[in-house]
Amino acid sequence: MICSLGLVCVCLNRASAVEVTLDASKDNTLYSEVNNLSNGAGDYFFCGTNGTGSNRRALLAFDVAGAIAPGSTIDSVALELYMSRTTTGASSVNLYRVLTDWGEGLSDASGNEGGGAIATDGDATWDYPFYNTADPPSAPTWTNLGGDHSLSSSAVTSVNATGTYSWSLSSRMVSDVQGWLDTPATNFGWILIGDEGPGRSSKRFDSRTNLTPSRRPRLVINFTPPSVPGACCFVDQSCLVLSSTDCATQGGTFEGNSTTCTPNLCQPTGACCFGDGSCSVETDGTCTTAGGTYQGTGTDCTPNVCPQTGACCFNDGTCQELILDECNTALGAFEGEGSVCSPNPCSIVLEPFVDALPLPAVAQPISGTVGGVATYAIAMTEFDQQLHRDLPPTTAWGYGGTYPGPTIEATTDLPVTVEWINDLRDEFGTLRTDHFLPVDLCMHGPDVAGASPRTVVHLHGGHVPPEYDGYPESTFLPGASETYVYPNNQPPTTLWYHDHAMGITRLNVYMGLAGFYILRDAFESSLNLPSGEFEVPLAVQDRSFNSDGSFRYPAVWQDMFFGDKMLVNGKVWPYFNVKQGLYRFRILNGCNSRTLRLSMSNGATFHLIGMDGGLLDSTVPITEMTLAPAERADVIIDFGGYAPGTEIFLTNSAPAPLFGNPTEGLLPNVMKFVVTNEIGDTGAIPTALRPMEVLDEQDSAGARDFVLTRAPGSSPTCGDSWWLINDLSWTDDITEFPVLGSTEVWRFINQSGVMHPMHMHLVMFQVLDRQALQFIGGEFVPVGAPIPPDPTESGWKDTVRTNPLEITRVIARFDGYLGRYPYHCHILEHEDHEMMRQFEVVAPPPIPAASEWGLVVMTLAVLTCGCLILRKRRYAVLD
Ligand code: C2O
Ligand code: CU
Ligand code: CU
């Protein structure tokens, strides 16, 4: 610390000055009259000359050493006295240091005390420092009568009228007190000597025993306590531990008592940042040696100024927690301060369009013929499959040993029998007892069955008896099998089969348990649609991978899952060489949660010829199509007329989730088409397709409402709420009993903020319309006119997008089979989270005998009435 002369210096690192105020430890008055007067115990002491020419002198001492630590440095001293009586004007009062010890006895003058009192034993008098009352006194006298004192005045003050006077600003007073502190045996105080000329000059001061404490003598001392050794800094930034005085004499700057030289206080310091985001104040040198980054002299660690670590992702999908700079140097991608590597947020970077599009094999029957009546045995197995050129092989599950499974070819009305075999084995060939992926046990299903690899196969879009529909609870374990018969008594279309096990459907499908099932008939063949090599199924699915190639899926249930790679038929971003001509693509959105909005990068037309339930009655040209999970589109694309080598990309523009932030979750690439120089199918695109029966609302037996909400559920362990339908879950009683052969309108009332693709088993339905919902006055009410569906939804469907805050109406005929069938949201994460219920197709009431007519009419009347009341209550909210 540098303090310029004459300025008050505040040195924070040093012991700072301390002020003490002392009361006098003794005082007395010497009277020059011959008879040994004194006033040891009096209220006052005096100086000057009285009216009869006698002199008075006051003695006054303070116990300096008793109040101040030895070794301290006295900085300033001020003596304050209250002058309480005088009869004269201004006169000087000098202070002199007393050289001989003296006493304060019990003498106590009366009246104004100017006359003194007879000295007692031990009182100081004009002649004796310690008078005694022996006759003659045996005590030694002062060397100089009237008190032995230094010849030089320590301080002088002019005392005039009554009031407080101070003696200060005197270096001699300071050295007096310093001397008394350093050598307490020399502390005999001061003697006050007034003007002792012939004229009257006496002044009376209040003594230490005065009745008014505030008027008693006070000595105010400022001092600096003694220093203990501390760091002493020199101009060359070296540091030595020295006492403050040694430091001063060696020309250093003392940094304060008890400060140390480790670390070297004399070098400038600043915040030092380390790779783990920690901060410590260091010198530049120590910081660098310790591997930190010095932030500059004077910078501080409170608050922590260091860049914090975050997940740093590498192209191979590995993750390291680093700070931004380190991540950049290591050529990683920084995920932001505070992000972590567990769970690993990094995705492996894969080059798109390096693998050819695989075409699923056609399933081969064990008896019968492909496309005819046939019996298959299809096993679900675990295997490693190369899903991208640069990805280590991925452990997948598949039907028939591949992901996706083989395509089952079938013809309308020719039944197909499949023995579905669960032959999932671990890497040692042992039948699996647990799942490959982590299973969230809070879900309905695993809550009882644990992590076991249960499976059950559902033919999505199939019109099949309930016992062959793949009831979610009819699961079977590795080592077991189920044989299902598919009657194929429905119009031809693109079906797909996939797993449907209660509570783990999302995991089983994610592992690869899905495949195409294509139904044809003679009429469709007569349309001369592109076929053979020109008819290609495309199963589009998003997935994420760990760096070892394994599928990545969160261990804990999440509301939706979006992968960061798009696979078509089990390859990441494949390419497909196309001949110049027409292709028929049967496109399936096989994603767990992701909705696709597909278009061709050159704006080429999709000639939409069919959807979930089969062919449309005429072709619809479109340039963009939206497919929610489980929806299918049957399209013709014309690659005729492109120059060989032309590259066209199938792209996806839908954010994920669909109605979320438009820039979030985008996964734009799907696949690439490369036009070759060969000529392909140059046929015409038919405009008229299959005439379609339009279901009439007039024929409907009534409407059912399905309110879609995320609502508090019975088990709070899977998040604090469940996706429910009418506030009911799978295990609640069945509430929908459509009569066999009847037509019903189903209204999906989506009161949530996300789109739910609602799927019904058994039936194909037609979309009637959509109407907006608003939350007004505490309830949801429909607003505006219902809007009929787009031509791209004008065919038979089994899955419909029910948009947020909309009522989506569909109409279906419950034909064919009695029994229980699921209906559910086809976001597999929602389906597993209770957004699945079941309906039961029941037989129509028997035609009653004539005698029973009365009872029947009454019963019907009661039922109808009840229904109306029920419906009225439901509709009240809406209409
Ligand atoms: Cu594709 Cu019940 O599902
Ligand atoms: Cu289904
Ligand atoms: Cu949903």
The kind and range of the H/E element at 526 are helix 522-526
Task: Tell me the CA–centroid distance for residue 656 and ligand 3, in Å.
Answer: 13
Q: Which ligand is nearest to the CA of 629?
A: 1
3-state secondary structure 842-879: ECCCCCCCHHHHHHHHHHHHHHHHHHHHHHHHHHHCCC
User: Rounded mean pLDDT of 768-792?
Assistant: 94
Q: What is the pLDDT of residue 713?
A: 63
User: How far is it, in rounded angstroms, from Cα 452 to Cα 432?
Assistant: 8
User: Rounded mean pLDDT of 345-356?
Assistant: 94
Q: How many residues does the chain have?
A: 879
Q: In what order do the strands lie in the sheet with 310-313?
A: 319-322, 310-313, 333-337
Q: What is the pLDDT of residue 849?
A: 63
User: How far is it, in rounded angstroms, from Cα 764 to Cα 632?
Assistant: 13
Task: Tell me the CA–centroid distance for residue 397 and ligand 3, in Å.
Answer: 25
Task: Tell me the CA–centroid distance for residue 861 and ligand 3, in Å.
Answer: 38
Nearest in space to 688 (alpha carbons), one of 523, 518, 800: 523
Q: What is the pLDDT of residue 711?
A: 84
Q: What is the pLDDT of residue 244?
A: 83
Nearest in space to 660 (alpha carbons), one of 810, 775, 559: 559
Question: 861 pLDDT band (50/70/90 cuts)?
Answer: low
User: Rounded mean pLDDT of 725-740?
Assistant: 96
- Indicate which residue's Cα is closest to atom 3 of ligand 1: 460
User: How far is it, in rounded angstroms, from Cα 808 to Cα 879?
Assistant: 15
Q: Give every CB contact of residue 385 below 8 A, 6+ residues apart in sequence.
A: 393, 394, 396, 398, 402, 403, 512, 570
CB 643 within 8 A of CB 635: no
Task: Tell me the CA–centroid distance for residue 748 and ligand 3, in Å.
Answer: 12
Q: What is the pLDDT of residue 246?
A: 87
User: Rounded mean pLDDT of 160-167?
Assistant: 94
User: How far is it, in rounded angstroms, from Cα 470 to Cα 480?
Assistant: 14
Q: Is a pLDDT exceeding 70 seen at residue 854?
A: no
What 3-state DSSP class applies to 740?
Answer: coil
CB 253 within 8 A of CB 233: yes
Question: 859 pLDDT band (50/70/90 cuts)?
Answer: low
- Indicate which residue's Cα is closest to atom 1 of ligand 1: 460
Question: 847 pLDDT band (50/70/90 cuts)?
Answer: confident
Task: Tell me the CA–centroid distance for residue 740 and ligand 1, in Å.
Answer: 21
Q: Which ligand is nearest to the CA of 613?
A: 2
Is the CB of 759 within 6 Å of ligand 1?
A: yes
Backbone φ and ψ for 19, nearest 5 degrees, come out as -115, 135
Q: Which ligand is nearest to the CA of 658?
A: 3
Q: Which is the closest atom of ligand 1 to the Cα of 470?
A: 2
Is the CB of 506 within 6 Å of ligand 1?
A: no
Asked if omega into 343 is within 30° of 0 (cis), the reply is yes
| Greatest C-alpha distance within the chain | 159
Is the CB of 632 within 6 Å of ligand 1?
A: no
Q: Which is the closest atom of ligand 1 to the Cα of 498?
A: 1
Q: 775-799: buried (b, 16+ CB within 10 Å) or exposed (e) per residue?
A: eeeeebebeeeeeebeebbbbbbbb
Q: Is a pLDDT exceeding 70 seen at residue 702?
A: yes
Q: Is a pLDDT exceeding 70 seen at residue 165?
A: yes
Distances in Å between the Cα of 772 and the Cα atoms of 74, 725, 748, 753, 799 are: 89, 19, 12, 13, 20
Is the CB of 208 within 6 Å of ligand 1?
A: no
Asked if omega into 213 is within 30° of 0 (cis), the reply is no
Question: 264 pLDDT band (50/70/90 cuts)?
Answer: confident
DSSP state of 284: H
User: How far is it, in rounded angstroms, from Cα 763 to Cα 774?
Assistant: 30
User: Rounded mean pLDDT of 86-96?
Assistant: 92
Question: 857 pLDDT band (50/70/90 cuts)?
Answer: low
Q: Which is the closest atom of ligand 1 to the Cα of 831?
A: 2
Is the CB of 14 within 6 Å of ligand 1?
A: no
- Paired sense of beta strands 374-385 and 416-422, if any: parallel
Task: Tell me the CA–centroid distance for residue 472 and ligand 1, in Å.
Answer: 10
User: Rounded mean pLDDT of 834-858?
Assistant: 78
Other residues' Cβ atoms within 10 Å of the Cβ of residue 747: 21
Q: Which ligand is nearest to the CA of 631?
A: 1
DSSP state of 525: H
Q: What is the pLDDT of residue 445?
A: 94
User: How far is it, in rounded angstroms, from Cα 759 to Cα 629?
Assistant: 10
Asked if omega into 263 is within 30° of 0 (cis), the reply is yes
Taking only Cα atoms into account, the Rg of the chain, rounded to an integer number of angstroms, comes to 52
- Paired sense of beta strands 416-422 and 606-611, if any: unpaired
Task: Tell me the CA–centroid distance for residue 118 and ligand 1, in Å.
Answer: 123
User: Regarding predicted confidence, which is higher, 44 or 344?
Assistant: 44
CB 152 within 8 A of CB 97: no
3-state secondary structure 326-369: HHHHCCCEEEEECCCCCCCCCCCCCCCCCCECCCCCECCCCEEC
Is the CB of 830 within 6 Å of ligand 1?
A: no
Is the CB of 672 within 6 Å of ligand 1?
A: no
Q: Give every CB contact of residue 413 below 8 A, 6+ residues apart in sequence.
A: 487, 488, 489, 521
Q: Is a pLDDT exceeding 80 seen at residue 855?
A: no
Is the CB of 630 within 6 Å of ligand 1?
A: yes
Torsion, Cα of 53, 56, 57, 58 (10° steps): -160
Name residue 743's amino acid. Answer: T
CB 735 within 8 A of CB 728: yes
Question: 269 pLDDT band (50/70/90 cuts)?
Answer: confident
CB 754 within 8 A of CB 712: no
Is the CB of 242 within 6 Å of ligand 1?
A: no
User: How far is it, in rounded angstroms, from Cα 755 to Cα 658?
Assistant: 7
- Which spans in 782-852 are helix H? 828-831
Q: Is a pLDDT exceeding 90 seen at residue 129?
A: yes
Query: Which range has the top average pLDDT, 250-259, 322-331, 870-879?
Result: 322-331
Nearest in space to 403 (alpha carbons), one of 423, 419, 383, 430: 383
Q: Give every CB contact of residue 813 below 8 A, 6+ residues apart in sequence.
A: 695, 741, 742, 743, 763
Location of structure tokens 């290591």: 330
Task: Tell me the CA–centroid distance for residue 762 and ligand 2, in Å.
Answer: 8
Q: Report if pTM > 0.75.
A: no
User: How far is it, in rounded angstroms, from Cα 554 to Cα 719?
Assistant: 14
Is the CB of 458 within 6 Å of ligand 1?
A: yes
Task: Tell me the CA–centroid distance for residue 837 and ligand 1, in Å.
Answer: 12
In the chain, % of residues over pLDDT 70: 94
Q: Which is the closest atom of ligand 1 to the Cα of 630?
A: 1
Is the CB of 822 within 6 Å of ligand 1?
A: yes
CB under 5 Å of ion ligand 2: residues = 460, 761
The overall average pLDDT reported for the chain is 91
User: Rounded mean pLDDT of 583-596?
Assistant: 98
Is the CB of 56 within 6 Å of ligand 1?
A: no
CB 327 within 8 A of CB 334: yes
Is the CB of 500 within 6 Å of ligand 1?
A: yes
pLDDT tens-digit map of 592-637: 999 999 999 999 999 999 999 999 999 999 999 999 999 999 999 9
Other residues' Cβ atoms within 10 Å of the Cβ of residue 688: 10
Is the CB of 837 within 6 Å of ligand 1?
A: no
Distances in Å between the Cα of 177 and the Cα atoms of 74, 95, 220 are: 7, 13, 11
pLDDT tens-digit map of 790-813: 999 999 999 999 999 999 999 999
Residue 566 sits at the vertex; the CA angle it makes with 562 and 570, to the nearest 5 degrees, is 115
Distance of CA 767 to the CA centre of its chain: 42
pLDDT tens-digit map of 379-427: 999 999 999 999 999 999 999 999 999 999 999 999 999 999 999 999 9
What 3-state DSSP class applies to 698?
Answer: helix
Nearest in space to 780 (alpha carbons), one of 723, 834, 725, 708: 708
Q: What is the pLDDT of residue 195?
A: 92
Q: Is a pLDDT exceeding 50 seen at residue 367?
A: yes
